[in-house]
Amino acid sequence: MTQSSPTAADVSPSSRHIEGVGPVRMDPAGLYMSVTPEAALASPVTATERHFVLAHHGVARCSAQTWTLGLVDRAGNKTRLSLQEIKTLPAREVSAVIECAGNPEDPDKPLRVVSNAVWRGPSLRSLLERMVERKARYVWSVGVDWGAYAGETTNEYVKDMPMTKAMDEEVIVAYEMNGAPLTPEHGFPLRLVVPGYYGTNSVKWLATISLHDQRPASLFTTRLYNDWRSGEAVPVWEVAVNSRLLAPAAGASLPLGEIDILGRAWGHAEVQTVELSVDGGTSWFAAELEPRAGYAWQTFRARWTPRAASRYEIAVRARDIEGCVQPDGLHINQIQRVSVVVE
């Protein structure tokens, strides 16, 4: 995923009527991807039209007038809230970085597809507290998009999270992004935003929230988006500590002298330190790191003066407040290395 313009699978658009939601049209249908251009990452807040999109089934086109959000408690009691009712609830504004969990069929490949935006809507907790029977282990969230992916056809997109995470006030049901209504590509009219979790968990076109004691048997919670390193399925929930170098760019030719280094760091936990190496990891020096605001990414900066004209490889690694550090081996958050030429 290196392209910045949207790409979509060649699948004919399809439509259906969904109870409680109304008409929905998948257009474009099939896998849809749009990656944030490198230049757009320089802004602290990623513009909506530049924020990355990964939609497994395509983009759902929905009607705000007929849309309702279903709330189903542990006992099966169901209520529905209209979009207007949701907008009358106390809203929170959350600044959050969202990282794509990568290709679920090649989960160790480090893509660093990431953007940062400001989201607005009521907390998920405030909706869960409306339920009668709230004692449960997991919260399921269902999006209305449907289609084929990874050789399987599904009628909806289903994800889950632990109840403990769902009760975090920063987890919201968003209807605005960067001060404006959500666009269809970003989940209009409602989407879940789960700060600190990979983007696959921030379900777009959110139609139902329900409580359960077990995880759903969904394509996106069983075969895909699990880490099997321990021999069992560990859900891809919390974002691993990560970083991305923005400047200098890979392959850049730089004049001998002082060089400014700039990048972003992020993760489920706040990043505590960012270090850089220019000698293959033999030695490291600290970058200046901004503190985290909410769940936004953190900017790091440094100045480096090469000793001589040569080819250099700049490596960057972040460590969070829990002591987790980016690994050097193949993994989604492995240490990034960028080659530059100093002339």
Q: What structural domains and CATH numbers belong to the chain?
A: 7-235 (3.90.420.10), 242-342 (2.60.40.650)
* 130 pLDDT above the threshold of 60: yes
pLDDT higher at 154 or 10: 154
- Cα–Cα dist 188/21, whole Å: 12
Amino acid 213: pLDDT? 97
Task: Say whether pLDDT at 104 is over 90.
Answer: no
Instruction: Measure the CA–CA gap between 311 and 262, rounded to whole angstroms.
Output: 19
Answer yes or no: are the C-beta atoms of 326 and 242 closer than 8 Å: yes
Amino acid letter at 86?
A: I
Query: Does pLDDT of 303 surpass 50?
Result: yes
Residue with tokens 């029977």: 133
Mean pLDDT of 247-252: 95
**Which pLDDT score, from 0 to 100, does residue 3 have?**
42
Secondary structure of residue 42 in the 3-state scheme: helix
Report d(CA 291, CA 303) in Å as an integer: 19
Cα→Cα distances 97→90, 171, 283, 319, Å: 22, 13, 30, 17
Query: Cα–Cα distance between 67 and 63 in angstroms, integer?
Result: 6
Is the preceding omega at residue 28 within 30 degrees of 0, hence cis? yes
CA gap 270, 10 in Å, rounded = 40
